[in-house]
Chain A
Amino acid sequence: MTAGEVITVTIRRGGEHGAPVPVDFRVPITGDPTVLDLVTAIQRDQAPDLGYRFSCRVGMCGSCAMLVQGRPRWTCRTRVSLVARRGRLDLAPLPGLPVVKDLAVDMAPFFEKWAAAGGGFRPCESGDAVLALVAPESPARRNADAAIECIGCGVCAAACRVAGAEPGYPGPAALNRVWTLVNDVRDADGPRRLAEVAGPGGLFTCHSQGACTACCPKGLDPSRSIAGLKRAAVLAALRGEP
């Protein structure tokens, strides 16, 4: 798509109580817009009641994630020229989460899975108040660093077909978070965390298909984190834990 052309944007509209209905909008292209630019233009000029979510617009907050041409993406970091096909663009809310309105979903279930998987840090109890020395080059810290930059946008969970099919599965983001904590020497819950996510319906439900890694806008590798958790859980089981 180039400036001056008109693109047809199909948005799956609908709220929590109504079946989603695809609605077409024709939008003139100016410059080299992002998908978020188009959605904003539609809301301003054609559908003031269009529901969608964004905040930073520069790829820092992750709140503008939605399905673009069937693939979860950050719309603020996706150029229309790279994804439009034959002058058309399909947009839908992230799958697997309740729709609040149109393109905006309720992220609460996503973060509830983080909490249920033990995604909160619990520091070791230290009586002498000595700060933990964490060597940056240690293998554990490198593992944690490789996964720590997740900002919780939900793109990986939306890309994961297992997360969509298995309600009890924590999903790649939550397991990625647990992997960072398992590798954090300051964390007091390491072995317990593995036990919480290693049971039926847990991390071994992952089919290693790698959609999470392929779609992560931050370039993280949740698939590797889950593989690391599997290996840690196997070693723990062989040691007689949990």
Chain B
Amino acid sequence: MTPVRRHVLLWLGQRLAGLLLAGGLAIHLFQVWSVGGAALVARPGGGVGWPLFYAGVVGLALIHGGLGVHGLWRERRHGLAALSIQRLTGIALVLFVPVHVSVSIACVVCPALAATVFQVAALPLHRGFEAAVVALVVGHGLGGLRVLALEGLLWSRGQKALAWIAAGLTMAAAVAVPAGAW
């Protein structure tokens, strides 16, 4: 494989993993909203469906985040030019997701730890943190879908409308959490 072809396919892989990840995280957020984090961790039944689903989501996050970080490193000389909102939220998620996944797995394995974690999660301060995380995920996801629309559908004239829609929905998601809708 030529270096150019590898470069192009890695770029495509990052975009496709992001698209699938957006769907997976939408399902995850809906699950958290509908049954709650505690019920998710203590989900009864011995089926393999949900574990496989979350393994897939984590795998996609590894591919998407890994290739994203690789791109950031390659373009580190860009400085401010690379610090778009999409990349800033991506960096924040790359820092958050490993902690979130590790704590979640620990909670599934150890119910005693889960009780402590959900006590902390009930603190008012933690609601603000949840709002920030939801805003990050929704903002990064919608921003990514916007880029996919621009690049895949050649829809660059819709740039501003897409950006405003993404920003508006992100704000709505961020406000919905402390407002108690979550």
A residues near B, CB below 8 A?
Answer: 161-162, 164-166, 195, 198-200, 204-205, 207-210, 213, 221, 223-224, 227-228, 230-231, 233-234, 236-238, 240-242
Q: Which of B7, B9, B79, B151 contacts A231 (CB 8 A)?
A: B151
Bound-complex Cα distance A241 to B9 (A) = 11
Given A208-B147, A213-B159, 5 other A-B contacts at CB below 8 A? A162-B78, A195-B4, A208-B150, A231-B154, A234-B12
User: In the bound complex, what is the Cα–Cα distance between A199 and B4 (angstroms)?
Assistant: 4
Q: Are the C-beta atoms of B8 and A200 separated by less than 8 Å? A: no
Cβ–Cβ contact B156 & A223, under 8 A: yes
Tell me, in angstroms, the Cα distance from A238 to B12 when the chains sit together: 10
B4 to A204, Cβ gap below 8 A? no
Q: Are A209 and B84 in contact (CB under 8 A)?
A: yes
Question: Assuming the A-B contacts A165-B79, A166-B75, are A233 and B8 also in contact, with contact meaning beta carbons closer than 8 angstroms in the complex?
Answer: yes
Q: Which residue in chain B gives the minimum CB-CB distance to A206?
A: B151
Bound CA span A241–B2, Å? 9
A162 to B81, CA, bound (A): 6
Cβ of B152 within 8 Å of any chain A Cβ, yes or no, is yes
Q: Which residues of B contact A240 (CB under 8 A)?
A: 5
- Check B11 against A204 for contact (C-beta < 8 Å): yes
Contacts of A224 in B (CB 8 A): 154, 156-157
- A242 cross-chain contacts in B, Cβ below 8 A: 2, 4-5
Are A164 and B81 within 8 A (Cβ)? yes
Docked pose: A209 CA to B97 CA in angstroms: 26
Q: A162-B78, A166-B77 are in contact. Are A228 and B8 (CB under 8 A)?
A: no
- Taking CB atoms, residues of chain B closer than 8 Å to A198 are 4, 7-8
Closest to B15 in A: A234
B120 at the interface (CB under 8 A from A): no
Assuming A204-B11, A230-B151, A231-B154, is B81 touching A241 (CB within 8 A)? no
A214, B126: Cα distance in complex, Å? 41
User: B63 → chain A, closest Cβ, in Å?
Assistant: 17
Q: How far is the CA of A207 from the CA of B4 in the complex (A)?
A: 18
B residues lining the A interface (CB < 8 Å): 2-5, 7-9, 11-12, 74-75, 77-82, 84, 147, 150-152, 154, 156-157, 159
Say whether A210 contacts B11, CB under 8 Å. Answer: no
Interfacial chain B residues near A162, Cβ < 8 Å: 78, 81
Residues of A within 8 A of B81 (CB): 161-162, 164-166, 207
When A213-B156, A234-B12 are in contact, do A241 and B78 touch as well, CB less than 8 Å? no
Contacting B151 at CB < 8 Å: which of A164, A200, A227? A227
A231-B152 contact given A165-B77, A198-B4, A209-B84, CB 8 Å threshold? yes
Q: Is the CB of A204 within 8 A of B84?
A: no
Given A208-B147, A237-B12, do A228 and B74 touch, yes or no (CB 8 Å)? no
**Minimum CB–CB distance for A108 against chain B, Å:** 23
Return B6 CB to nearest CB of chain A, in Å.
9
Which of B2, B4, B77, B80 is close to A161, meaning CB atoms less than 8 Å apart?
B80
Known: A161-B81, A165-B79. A204 touches B7 (CB 8 A): yes
A223-B4 CB under 8 A given contacts A162-B81, A234-B12 = no
CB distance from A139 to the nearest CB of B (A): 11
Q: Within the assembled complex, what's the spacing in Å between the Cα atoms of A236 and B75?
A: 24
Q: Contact: A210 with B4, CB < 8 Å?
A: no
- On chain A, the residues within 8 Å of B159 by CB distance are 210, 213, 223
In whole angstroms, what is the CA distance A210 to B155 when docked? Answer: 11
Docked CA distance A164–B80 (Å):
11
CA distance A234 to B3 in the complex (A): 14
B78 touches A200 (CB 8 A): no
Contact call A228/B154, Cβ cutoff below 8 A: yes
Minimum Cβ distance to chain A for residue B17 (Å): 14
Chain A residues, Cβ within 8 Å of B151: 208, 227, 230-231
